[in-house]
Amino acid sequence: MAILNQPTQPFAGQKPGTSGLRKKVGVFQQPHYLENFVQAIFDAVPELAGGVLVAGGDGRFHNRAAIQTILKMAAANGVARVLVAQDGLLSTPAASCVIRKHGATGGIILSASHNPGGPDGDFGIKYNAANGGPAAEKITDAIYARTQSLNEYRISNSADLPLGELGSFTLESMAVEVIDPVADYAELMQQIFDFGLIRAWFAAGHRIHFDAMSAISGPYAKHILEDLLGAAPGSVVNAVPLEDFGGHHPDPNPAHAGDLIRAMSGPDAADLGAASDGDADRNMIVGRDFLVSPSDSLAIMTAQAMRIPGYRSGIAGVARSMPTSRAADAVAKDLGIACFETPTGWKFFGNLLDAGLATLCGEESYGSGSNHVREKDGVWAVLFWLNLLAATGQSVEEIVRAHWAKYGRHYYSRHDYEGIDCDAANGLMAHLRAALPGLPGKAFGRLVVARADDFAYDDPVDGSRTSAQGVRIELEGDSRVVFRLSGTGTEGATLRVYLEAFEADPAQHAVPVQEKLAELIVLAKEVAGIAGRTGRSEPSVIA
Ligand code: VG1
Ligand code: CO
């Protein structure tokens, strides 16, 4: 075995987006492409030399090859000890759990999350810091800067390590431990939720239908729900992680989780339906013939946190990404706790969680989580809802309708225009930004603009400012449209249009979502000139 200094040249475009670097598999398979980015991590985070690194990924195509490269480079860069997940399979929330539990210096997570996988799909990589959370922008900026200047990387020429069995090895002078992350994660869940109560609820005949979408949540969900909590065998479907997710799009939302929605339809459906995404950090909650909006889910968790053992002593505050509906704000106001509004992406919650300012966090994109780790957490959210159902004896729909009756309903939808021309997308955003000063007071049909701005966030903990995070147009009467471009896609640009309308009157809560938002949808198309600028008259995904 020897350590090689391999000459290389920078690749353009290795700038991490909303959540790490995501590109087509073919891009990552180019010689030196992955290696350059990994070397940039080691160079930007010098404490990894002599430190402890956690490594694993969501199991998508290229995970197997990439994990070996990372181990060989970690050894060559002086990492003292690596905790690598068995077979290299590690969900994003479990990575966060393992980093925290073992006091690691940081972790490298291989995932493109909800993006499709397989040889023609997407691959991704990101660095998480010692708090278990996605590296702050300061670090991702430093990693990117390094990718643009490096001219060699260090790698061991050893043979591949066997990762199929738990055990310990040495690679150069680095200790390698192959660990079972499911055990660490399940232990943490038992500290938060009332497993006895949920077990009794299942024993009384209640049922869950969990669709793991052939992704990494499968082993976690199956072990916790079926083995530990006694849910009927087969409650977790598509439980075996596949390299191409069975050809499906592992994105739990109404557009891609049709099987779950069909399974949850009719009087014989399970009490709770749920799905998770490619790396198990997202969750979709479904009742019998009833979809729960992620924004509502966060508000309901906040309102009901006292029913969950892990949060019984109270929650400090709640945080939501800016485009997420303001349903959580109403609850925070009622409870007298703080509500924070952050840019899109989980990395912005890290400081609030570390400082004890927020306990629960959520995003409209089917993500929620708490201070138990520093990532959003799909299985955690499902257990939260299970614990709620067991504690209240109510159905999903009853819980949500009672919440709306008390706080009003924040009707919500996201319209995505995927794969549009990048210049057209940037032009559309520039046009919106230029139009901002003239918008207040302007009428669109019956809707009148009250305020309009481009969201900027001042982190209350470290004082950093992040600007240009999305154009917000607030209408009189508490409705809102937000526009931003996706930072996770790999083809062209994706315009996201977030629509929200508040309705206090319970007699109006049966109106279908798209109908309630119809006037806002017209306004959004008009104010941004979507059809003219993108050539699309309708969104490609409605979530
Ligand atoms: C999307 C979501 C965002 C989420 C991010 C990562 O980002 O909108 O809320 O944090 O994905 O989630 P964007 O920039 O495409 O809108 V995951 O589960 O892909 O790590
Ligand atoms: Co994800």
Ligand 1 in reach of 365 Cβ (< 6 A)? yes
First CA to last CA across the chain, in angstroms?
Answer: 51
pLDDT number for residue 489? 83
Specify whether domain 3-180 bears CATH 3.30.70.2190. no
Ligand 1 in reach of 410 Cβ (< 6 A)? no
pLDDT number for residue 292? 98
Residues that are catalytic: 113
- Protein fold of 409-542: TATA-Binding Protein (3.30.310)
Tokens of 468: 């240009």
CA 435 to chain centroid, in Å, comes to 31
Ligand 1 in reach of 516 Cβ (< 6 A)? no
Q: What residue segments make up the domains of the chain, in order of their start?
A: 3-180, 185-407, 409-542
CB 75 within 8 Å of CB 159: no
What single DSSP character describes residue 402?
H
The full length of the chain comes to 543
What would the 3-class secondary structure string for 296-336 be? HHHHHHHHHHHHCHHHCCCCCEEEEECCCCCHHHHHHHHHC
**Interval between CA 277 and ligand 2 midpoint (Å):** 6
CA 178 to chain centroid, in Å, comes to 26
**Interval between CA 232 and ligand 1 midpoint (Å):** 32
User: Which residue among 19, 245, 482 is best mutated to probe the pocket of ligand 1, counting the most ligand atoms within 8 A of its Cβ?
Assistant: 19
Whether 409-542 and 3-180 are alike in CATH topology: the answer is no
Q: Which residues contact 242 (CB under 8 A, 6 or more apart)?
A: 59, 214, 215
**Interval between CA 320 and ligand 1 midpoint (Å):** 13
Ligand 1 in reach of 19 Cβ (< 6 A)? yes
User: Which one-letter amino acid corresponds to residue 151?
Assistant: N
- The span from the CA of 59 to the CA of 112, in Å, is 10
- Nearest-ligand number for the alpha carbon of 217: 2
Highest CATH level, class, for 185-407: alpha beta
Ligand 1 in reach of 486 Cβ (< 6 A)? yes
User: Which residue among 23, 213, 483, 488 is best mutated to probe the pocket of ligand 1, counting the most ligand atoms within 8 A of its Cβ?
Assistant: 488
- The span from the CA of 362 to the CA of 135, in Å, is 18
Ligand 1 in reach of 469 Cβ (< 6 A)? no
Q: What are phi and psi of 301, to 5 degrees?
A: -60, -40
CB 32 within 8 Å of CB 134: no
Per-residue pLDDT of the chain (543 residues; tens, 9 = 90+): 899 999 999 999 999 998 999 999 999 999 999 999 999 999 999 999 999 999 999 999 999 999 999 999 999 999 999 999 999 999 999 999 999 999 999 999 999 999 999 999 999 999 999 999 999 999 999 999 999 999 999 999 999 999 999 999 999 999 999 999 999 999 999 999 999 999 999 999 999 999 999 999 999 999 999 999 999 999 999 999 999 999 989 999 999 999 999 999 999 999 999 999 999 999 999 999 999 999 999 999 999 999 999 999 999 999 999 999 999 999 999 999 999 999 999 999 999 999 999 999 999 999 999 999 999 999 999 999 999 999 999 999 999 999 999 999 999 999 999 999 999 999 999 999 999 999 999 999 999 999 999 999 999 999 999 999 999 999 999 999 999 999 988 889 999 999 999 999 999 999 999 999 999 999 999 999 999 999 999 999 999
Residue located nearest, by CA, to atom 10 of ligand 1:
345
- Nearest-ligand number for the alpha carbon of 19: 1
- The span from the CA of 230 to the CA of 203, in Å, is 7
Atom of ligand 1 nearest to the CA of 364: 9
pLDDT number for residue 121? 95
**Interval between CA 114 and ligand 2 midpoint (Å):** 5
Residue located nearest, by CA, to atom 5 of ligand 1:
345
Ligand 1 in reach of 158 Cβ (< 6 A)? no
Residue located nearest, by CA, to atom 20 of ligand 1:
113
Atom of ligand 1 nearest to the CA of 376: 18
User: Which residue among 18, 361, 416, 482 is best mutated to probe the pocket of ligand 1, counting the most ligand atoms within 8 A of its Cβ?
Assistant: 18
Residue located nearest, by CA, to atom 8 of ligand 1:
365
> How deeply is 276 buried, as exposed, middle or buried, from its count of CB atoms within 10 A (0-12, 13-18, 19+)?
buried
User: Which residue among 122, 283, 344 is best mutated to probe the pocket of ligand 1, counting the most ligand atoms within 8 A of its Cβ?
Assistant: 344
**Interval between CA 266 and ligand 1 midpoint (Å):** 32
Ligand 1 in reach of 113 Cβ (< 6 A)? yes
- Nearest-ligand number for the alpha carbon of 124: 1
Ligand 1 in reach of 344 Cβ (< 6 A)? yes
- The span from the CA of 284 to the CA of 34, in Å, is 32
Ligand 1 in reach of 363 Cβ (< 6 A)? yes
Tokens of 350: 């890290």
**Interval between CA 5 and ligand 2 midpoint (Å):** 34
- 77-103 burial, b if ≥16 CB within 10 A, otherwise e? bbbebbbbbbbbbbbbbbbbbbbbbee
Tokens of 11: 């690749």
Ligand 1 in reach of 346 Cβ (< 6 A)? yes
Ligand 1 in reach of 124 Cβ (< 6 A)? no
Residue located nearest, by CA, to atom 17 of ligand 1:
113
- The span from the CA of 361 to the CA of 411, in Å, is 19
**Interval between CA 282 and ligand 1 midpoint (Å):** 9
